[in-house]
Each structure stands twice: as structure tokens, then as C-alpha cells.
Amino acid sequence: MNIFSFDNTFEGLLTLVYESYERKEFPDEILCGEGGQGGLFESTITITTDDQKAGRVWKGIVSHSSEVNAHRIYRVFLAGMPDTPLLLAKYIRLVIDSSKNEETNFSEPVVLEINKLHQKVCKEAHRVQMFVRFQKTVEGSYYASFAPLYDVLPLCIPHFRDRYADQPWIIYDLKRNYGFWYDLKDVSRVVFDDLKVNVQNGQLHSSLLSQDEKHFQQLWKQYYHSICIQERKNDKVHRQLLPQRFWKYLPEKGIL
Amino acid sequence: MISESSLEKLKILAGAAKYDVSCASSGTSRSNTNGGIGNASGWGICHSFTEDGRCVSLLKIMLSNFCIYDCAYCINRKSNDIPRTSFTPEEIANLTIEFYRRNYIEGLFLSSGVLRNPDYTMERMVSVAKLLRIEHKYNGYIHLKAIPGASPQLIADAGRWADRLSVNIEIPTENNLKLLAPDKDFKSVLEPMKIISTNILESKEERKKYRTAPLFSPSGQSTQLIIGATDDTDHTILKLSSALYLRRDLKRVYYSGYIPVNSYDNRLPALNTPPLRREHRLYQADWLMRFYGFKSNEIVNADHPNLDLELDPKVTWALRNPHLFPVDINKADPLMLLRIPGVGTHSVQLILLARKHNRLNSSHLQKMGVVMKRAKFFITCNELCSQNIQDLKPEIVRQLLLEKKTVGNDGAIQLKLFNPGMPALK
């Protein structure tokens, strides 16, 4: 059994694919980070990320399928589930080994699985755009906490940057403890060690909030309840469309 | 700064606007410009969902709920004794911006009761859009209601600032409209629609010649029909929608199940629950016309004036046309694939791509998302199939399809159309 371990970066995964071709040994299991727990008798092949090798594999994917497919692979990687790297390694091998473009061969289980996971990742990214709620701070910037299922924040940044170009903002992933900060010029990645935020509902400490922030949250909540038609109540559809895991971050759902 | 009384005003004027079902924020793709705020994303984004399962995409609000008209189906009719209030254009603009900056909403949907006269009302509504676009450098989505009877100049002005305009027909036949809304007739509603569609066409032509020619209501116009307040059949309703799509180039016709807001008025039927299932079937039929290549008279016609409430319109169409089935999944052309019950637009795309690689069988189809419990009666694929509609009789297939269905209470399947995958389809 071939066990590989890599540093859990996208470039690392591409390097892993490169190395497996060079060794003519393909992974049966892939460990993330400093693994080394690959069972008693097996030895683990540890991959050192190499941008050049990763670049070769990226080009290989593009020439055997398409640029769109290469980007699809990147987005699926962001799903970050324990078995995602192995699934991707299998998929990349299928794409590279085939003489025709396999990306639309939906009768092949791996292809279909990749496409389903891709859809899930894109949906989660879309949900960030839907359900992020900014709070205005005392110094006039806008802050939002979120905890997406997958690591999709990087996919949403262009949208927020274009839409909220005239206000400084921070979107912070509480689950992965990092975020993005826009200062009216550039977006940069930030990590806070002492974030004064209530992890229960993502709300900043009230001393940091602008004076009228609570007032607008209240107005929004009032609006949300006034627009509902009681005669048409439909809890099942409501929960399907607005899953409960998001409720704690939404002022309209919270107790203020 | 918005005062405390704004909470009460918001309650009244949002409550007054909620019966308008339009929520689309799609159809315009516009980047943020000149250091302003906002953009319009082509697909539209829903930002929340209320407990009735409807999406909240826009700040849907009335400028005022005072009205000089007395339409029987409307909560804001002048003879109703309800709290009345108005926002100023500045208040609406500020509220929109504050909500928008917090990512609560995708834009503004402004409607109004008719104050003094249609022109006065329309002018105030246009002034809100102007305030947002000019003062606040706002590039987000704006939907304005065109007030029936407003002058063509004002409607033309509205279309320059808004992304979408709409005029609600509400009642599908002129006789019933006159009965329920004595101050209105078909002309007063259809005239603004015509002005809007002419302006849209002209602007499109202009933009072919000059790339910088001004846009007019770039994501088109829509309308709404109330279902179940009158005795109009689904045939009448869908014939009207179909004509609107074809001749007025509407982006959407919305169907709103009648909710007895003025139960004292005996011109209206007494309903215990709104006709949600019928409304759902109408939306399905509407989807068939817009995305599946169906004509309205294939779905309903003089022989079958109403939609079947128990089965969806595509299935009932297929059962009436058994000679066209079974369809070979591996050979049929795209338009025929779209007509198979249980096969949606997404599945058709996957099938077309995948069948270039391999011959497909039923287990492939299942995994691709085809609803086999319906489709299996209408297809053949690369294997021995179970009994299809030719082996069985349409009546038997109908029975089999009904058995599998667990019929919930009337609202159970309602509004699944608004799923976040296609949040606010044009």
C-alpha cells in the first residue's frame, strides 16, 4: 500500500501527483500535514512542495482537459475533507492518462463525484455571499464573522471587493481562524489572536460597535418579520433554504 | 439619522408590500464604478428566507400605503381602516444604503399606493432612484413599480434609473378586473407595459449603434397575476402569460395565490387556505414555457382548461401524448430530452455531454440526478428496461405515479422553485 503525505497546500497536492508519476507508484492513501501515522508496517512517502513540479502538473491538466477544469480542481481542493486529496489525485491521473478530454464523462464515477463536490463548494461560496452580515464598527469599518463548511472565503473576495469598494471591511472565518481585510486599496489575509467577538453569534463586543449598529440590526429584524405572510408559513422549505447552521450569525434570526 | 418612529413605519410599509411576490434581482450585470457602492451580479443573490419559505433579496417596501383606489383584492384599498403612513424619498434611500452596506439586501424594490394622482406618485418614486444613483453613487439593483396611468415621460424617466420596471395586471380578464377594481381597466395596465417594452427595444437598438447609449430597464419588466380570486381558468391565465412573454418580451410573470385580505367583500371567494398547490402547478407550467420549449396550448387547452393538481404539468402532457414515448436517451435530440418527465435542464446538459463518451444506462442516469421513478416509464436506454408507457396504458402509469406520491398538506411542495442554486432567475 502506497501512503503519501503532503503539506495540505494545493501546490503540495500537485507536487504529489508529479512525484507519483516519477516513482510509478500511485497513492492508496494520502495523509495531510506531518502525518507519519500510516500504520505499523507501511512507510510514508513525504512530499516536499515544489512550485515548478506543481506548475508542470497544472499545465498537464490544462492541456489534457481545459483551463476551466484546472480551476475546478482547485475549487474542489478547498472542500478540504479528509478524502478529498485522494479523490483529486485519482481524478488528475484519469485526466492526464486519457487521450481524450474526460472532464465531461459523467458515466465515470470519479468524474461525477468531482462534479458533485464542486457544486457543493460553489454553493457554499455562494452562501457566504448570501449570509455574511457586516457590523459597523466605531471607526467606521465593517466586520463580519462566518464559519463556512469548506474553506471558500478566497473564492468570495472578488465579489465583496467590487461591491463594497468604498467601505473598509473584514470577513473573518472563525472556524479556520483567518480572514480578509480590505483597506480601501488592497485585500490582505489577516489572523487575529485576540479578536473581541462572541463565538456564539459572531457579534463584536458592543464597545467596538458603532452607535447606531444595534438600531439597524433591529430595523432589519423588524423588516424580516413584517415581510413574512403568516397564512403561507412553510417551515420545511424555510429550513431547506436557510439551514439552521447559519442562524446564529443572522441578526434577523437572533435575539437582540 | 433615522428616528425611532421608523421602526413602526417600516413595520407598516413592509407589511403592506409583502403581497407582491416578485423578488428577482437577476438580469443585470454591472460592476461598481467611480468609487461608489454596489454592483449587480448577473444571477442575483438571495440574502435571507422568511418563515413562509420565500426569499428576501430586495428591500421590498412601499413609499406610502395611502391610496385613492378601492381595489377589492388589495389590503391597502382606501375603504380599509388600517394604519397609514409614508416614508420620504430620503428616508428610503438612507435605509437602502444602510441595509446594503451590511449585506442584508441586494437592492431596493419600491412600490407605492397612489397618492393624489398617478403622476405625483411616480415622480416621488423616481426621485428615490435618482437619489440613490446620483447622491449615493449606488450601483446596486433597483426595481420600481410603474404606476398605471402615469405619463409616458415619467415612465421613461423611471426606466433610466431602474434595473427593472413592473406593472401588475393582478386580474387575468378585463371583466373580472372591472368588477373588482372599478377604478382600473385593462388599458390602464397594459398601456404602461407597452411603453416600457417599446423603450426597452429602442434602447437595445440604440446600443447596437452606440455602445454608450443609455440603458433602459436593463433587466426587463415583469408582472403579477392573482390566482383564485376570480373564476378564471388556468387556460386563460397561461394564454395571457404566454402572450406577454412572446409579444411584450416580459422577463417574468409571477402568480400569487389569493390570500383573503378583505374577507368582508362578497365579490371575492371565501377561501380557508390560499390555493398554494395551484400556484405551484402554474409556476411549473410557466417554467415549461420558458425553459422547456412548451407552448401554452400543449399544457392547457379548451379540452383541459385546468392543470392537474395531483400530477405535474409535464407528466400530464406526456400521459396525453403516449405516442411520442419511449424516448431513447442515447439518441434523442435535446428538445425531446427536455420533454421527458423527471428530466430537468441540468440533467439534459449532463446527458448530452456524457453520451459522447459512453452509452448511458439507467444507473448512470440515476446518479446524474434524473428522477427515475418518473422517467422510467418514458425512456429506453442501453439495457432491457422496465415496462414503459407503451407496455402499460397511460391510465395505469398515472395510477403508478400517484401511488408513489405522498400527498402532504396543501403547502408542502410550495415554492421549491426558489432554491438558492438559481436564486432569482429572471
Is B45 in Cβ contact with A144 (below 8 Å)? Answer: no
Asked if the structure places residue B122 within a domain, the reply is yes
Does one domain contain both B382 and B247?
no
Q: Are residues B221 and B349 in the same domain?
A: no
Is the CB of B103 less than 8 angstroms away from the CB of A235?
no
**B249 lies in the same domain as B362:** no
Q: Quick check: is B108 in a domain?
A: yes
Same domain membership, residue B336 and residue B273: no
B9 neighbourhood in chain A, CB within 8 Å: none
Contacts of B52 in chain A (CB under 8 A): 228-230, 232-234, 238
Does residue B355 fall inside a structural domain?
yes
Q: Hey, is the C-beta of B365 within 8 angstroms of any chain A C-beta? A: no
Task: Clarify whether residues B110 and B201 are in a common domain.
Answer: yes
Q: Is B272 on the interface with A (CB under 8 A)?
A: no
Task: For residues B100 and B236, state if they share a domain.
Answer: yes
CA atoms within 13 A on the CB side of B409: 8
Return the sign of the alpha-carbon dihedral for residues B230, B236, B238, B239: negative
Q: Is residue B416 part of a domain?
A: no
Same domain for B237 and B210, yes or no, is: yes
Same domain, B159 and B90: yes
Does any CB of chain A come closer than 8 Å to the CB of residue B241? Answer: no
What is the least distance, in Å, from the CA of B32 to any CA of chain A? 6
Q: With beta carbons under 8 A apart, name residues in chain B contacting A224.
A: 48, 50, 56
Instruction: Specify the number of domains making up chain B.
Output: 2
B48-49 and B55-56 beta bridge pairing: antiparallel
Q: Are B412 and A162 a contacting pair at CB < 8 A?
A: no
d(C-alpha A157, C-alpha A170), whole Å: 10
Contacts of the segment B39-42: beta carbons below 8 A, 24+ positions apart: B39/A162, B39/A163, B39/B139, B39/B140, B40/B107, B40/B139, B40/B140, B40/B141, B40/B163, B41/A129, B41/A159
Number of cross-chain residue pairs from A and B with Cβ atoms under 8 Å apart: 172
- For the segment A30-51, what is each residue's pLDDT rounded down to a tens digit? 988 765 555 565 678 888 999 9
When mean pLDDT is compared across A158-167, B77-86, B271-280, B344-353, the lowest value belongs to: B271-280
Domain CATH code at residue B70: 3.20.20.70
Please tell me the distance from the alpha carbon of residue B417 to that of residue A146, in angstroms, as a whole number. 27
Provide the chain B residues 176-205 that lie in CB contact (below 8 A) with chain A. none
Strand partners, B108: B59, B142
Q: Are B25 and B103 part of one and the same domain?
A: yes
B426 within some domain: no
Same domain, B70 and B185: yes
Domain, as residue range, for B138 = 6-294
pLDDT tens per residue, range A146-196 = 999 999 999 999 999 999 999 999 999 999 999 999 999 999 999 998 888
**Neighbouring residues of B210: CB distance < 8 A, sequence distance ≥ 6:** none
> Structure pTM?
0.89
Nearest to B159 by CA among B236, B72, B220, B113: B220
With contact defined as beta carbons under 8 Å apart, do B265 and B72 qualify? yes
Give Cα separations from B227 to A233, B111, B334 (angstroms): 18, 21, 33
pLDDT at site B382: 74
Query: Among residues 114-153 of chain B, which lie with CB inside 8 Å of chain A?
Result: 137, 140
- Closest alpha carbon to A32 in A79, A82, A88, A74: A82
Q: Please give the single-letter amino acid code of residue B60.
A: K
Average pLDDT, chain B: 88
Looking at the fold, whether B275 and B322 belong to one and the same domain comes out as: no
Query: For residue B305, is it within any domain?
Result: no
Reported as a pLDDT band with limits 50, 70 and 90, residue B384 is: low
Biggest alpha carbon–alpha carbon distance for chain A: 66
